[in-house]
């Protein structure tokens, strides 16, 4: 059975969860279609003034909570530094139970620890790797108007969020071999990262457990390394 690897990104009205709330939650399963749910899906819209209640996000949080809870693994970009903490804050405010303890791969740290880029922002990584989807710019005007519930601005943020999730999955395919703590997605005989067969590549020495078998994924698109008990 394949793992449910969930890519997600959020957009919010503030960087702090006790001041702001969630505007949009974008997500996709590995190889699947990207979906973005937002305040436009959960809150009442004033057709005349083209505005939505941008203060109440309880219904949106309920949906995001269910989606996150059903995953086997999360993949984000700086999600451990922002997204996950913001979500936990809004979940608590909505009186929802805590999320389960799900393995979380944050690609920001893979780039930071293993590459020497001028910037570790996702847009720069997308440009460096030549990924097919380009992130869109998010202007301060659109952000301010979205905070006030301006529907066209929120629609722009939804498009921005969708592209973020698409770029995130594309970046994952290139960076996952560098995630040294990647959860095991296949059986014990296959690659920890993608489940493909592996080749034995000699041994690695350890000061604590002695000699360990070194293996590399046989899938050229992955190529991840790991060590196992000899």
Per-residue pLDDT band at 205 (split at 50, 70, 90): confident
Greater confidence, 179 or 221? 179
Q: Which residues contact 30 (CB under 8 A, 6 or more apart)?
A: 3, 5, 7, 169, 172
Bridge-partner residues for 25, per DSSP? 10, 37
pLDDT confidence of residue 126: 96
pLDDT at 18 over 80: yes
DSSP collapsed to 3 states, 56-96: CCHHHHHHHHHHHHCCCEEEECCHHHHHHHHHHHHHHHCCC
Q: Could you tell me which residues come within 8 angstroms of residue 8 by beta carbon, excluding any fewer than 6 positions away?
A: 25, 26, 27, 67, 68, 74, 75, 76, 79, 83, 165
Q: Please say if the pLDDT value at position 212 is more than 90.
A: no
Domain ranges of the chain: 5-178, 198-229
Distance CA 110, CA 129 (A): 14
Rg of the chain, C-alpha, whole Å? 20
What gap in Å lies between CA 57 and CA 12, rounded to an integer? 10
Q: Distance (Å, rounded) from C-alpha 76 to C-alpha 106?
A: 5
33 Ramachandran zone, left/alpha/beta (phi>0; psi -120 to 50): beta
Mean pLDDT of 17-34: 96
30-85, pLDDT tens digit by residue? Answer: 999 999 999 999 988 877 778 888 889 999 999 999 999 999 999 999 999 999 99
Residue 229 has pLDDT above 90, yes or no: no
State residue 211's pLDDT score: 82
Q: Is the pLDDT of residue 200 over 90?
A: no
pLDDT at 221 over 90: no
How many angstroms separate the CA atoms of 39 and 70, rounded? Answer: 21
Query: Is 136:163 a contact under the CB 8 Å cutoff?
Result: yes
> Which tens digit of pLDDT belongs to each residue from 89-116?
999 999 999 999 999 999 999 999 999 9
Alpha carbon 17 to its chain centroid, in Å, reads 18
pTM of the model: 0.91
For residue 202, the model assigns a pLDDT of 87
In this prediction, residue 139 carries a pLDDT of 84
pLDDT at 128: 97
Task: Select the CATH number that applies to the domain covering 5-178 from these four: 3.30.420.10, 3.90.1010.10, 3.40.50.1370, 3.40.109.10.
Answer: 3.30.420.10
Angle between helices 122-129 and 151-175 (to 10 degrees): 50
pLDDT tens digits, residue range 127-184?
A: 999 999 998 888 888 888 998 899 999 999 999 999 999 999 999 999 999 998 899 8
Coil/strand/helix, residue 51: strand
Under a CB-based contact definition with an 8 Å cutoff, are residues 191 and 217 in contact? yes
The residues, any chain, with a CB within 8 Å of residue 184's CB and separated by 6 or more, are 192
Run of H or E including 8:
strand 5-12
């Amino acid at each position: 059975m394949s793992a449910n690897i969930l890519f997600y990104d959020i957009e919010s009205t503030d960087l702090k969860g006790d001041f702001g709330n969630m505007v949009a939650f974008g997500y996709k399963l590995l190889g699947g279609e990207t979906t973005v749910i937002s305040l436009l899906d959960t809150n009442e819209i004033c057709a005349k003034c083209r505005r939505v209640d941008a203060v109440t996000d309880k219904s949106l949080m309920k949906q995001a909570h269910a989606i996150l809870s059903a995953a086997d693994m999360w993949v984000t970009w700086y999600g451990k530094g922002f997204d996950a903490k913001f979500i936990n804050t809004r979940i608590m405010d909505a009186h929802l139970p805590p999320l389960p303890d799900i393995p979380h791969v944050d690609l920001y740290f893979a780039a930071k620890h293993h590459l020497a880029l001028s910037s570790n922002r996702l847009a720069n990584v997308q440009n460096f790797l030549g990924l097919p989807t380009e992130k869109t710019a998010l202007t301060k005007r659109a952000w301010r108007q979205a905070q006030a519930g301006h529907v066209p601005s929120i629609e722009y943020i939804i498009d921005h969020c969708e592209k973020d999730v698409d770029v995130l999955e594309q970046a994952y395919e290139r960076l996952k071999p560098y995630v040294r703590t990647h959860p095991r997605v296949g059986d014990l005989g296959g690659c920890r990262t993608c489940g493909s067969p592996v080749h034995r590549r000699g041994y690695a020495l350890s000061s604590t457990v002695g000699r360990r078998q070194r293996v590399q994924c046989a899938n050229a698109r992955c190529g991840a390394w790991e060590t196992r008990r000899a």
